[in-house]
Amino acid sequence: MKHHFITVEGNIGAGKTTLTHLLAKHFNARIILEEFADNPFLPKFYANPQQYAFPLELFFMAERYKQLKDMVHTKDLFQSITISDYLFTKCLLFAKVNLPDEEFRLYQKLFDIINQQLVFPDILIYLHAPIHKLQTNIKKRNRSYEQNIPDEYLFNLQETYTGYIKQHNIKTIFIDASNADFLGNENHFKVVLNALENDYENGQHYFTLP
């Protein structure tokens, strides 16, 4: 394995956590999963975004920082690979969509200070799915506070993610997850495994699932 710190990213409902679990099991890797359920502001944010966006994003940033700092900077003699289901920059991307300009500028200053202390992954796996697929997955997992997420919100997040990846020329395995079924279709998972065998230049490297 050429990559020792792998991050899986994508929009809400793209299948990040499912793929992260499968990869961690396959490689016997340490796993970092976002603990979104511990954020007390999440249900409140979906009910009243304007009032709760700032505390929501601050809480997420603090929790993600603590997780990544604790796990990535701790040596594990038996597990040389770490796989995460989020990129720390996710903090900034969601804040850009959710916060008004003045609050975002303040948030960005805090983010820049914290981000310098963390390790960037060797490679990013980005799952790109159309909005209707995301909505289907969101309905299927049936978290009550997610059931009324507008298509426009998911579209804005999608555009923010892809814009960031392209602008910063990040080394990315970019997967068209329109028909992704990593649990039910072994060939879909094999596409990801085969993609991880290569060492890539910076930029996006595109893969489709059979």
Specify the length of the chain in residues: 210
Q: In this structure, what DSSP letter does residue 100 have?
A: -
Catalytic residue list contains 85: yes
Query: Which whole-number Å values give the CA distances from 8 to 29, 35, 129, in the listed order?
Result: 14, 15, 14
Among residues 38, 76, 85, 122, the one annotated as catalytic is 85
β partners of residue 5: 82
Separation CA 33–CA 205 (nearest Å): 24
β partners of residue 7: 84, 124
Separation CA 38–CA 185 (nearest Å): 31
Q: In this structure, what DSSP letter does residue 103 have?
A: H
Give the catalytic positions in this structure.
85
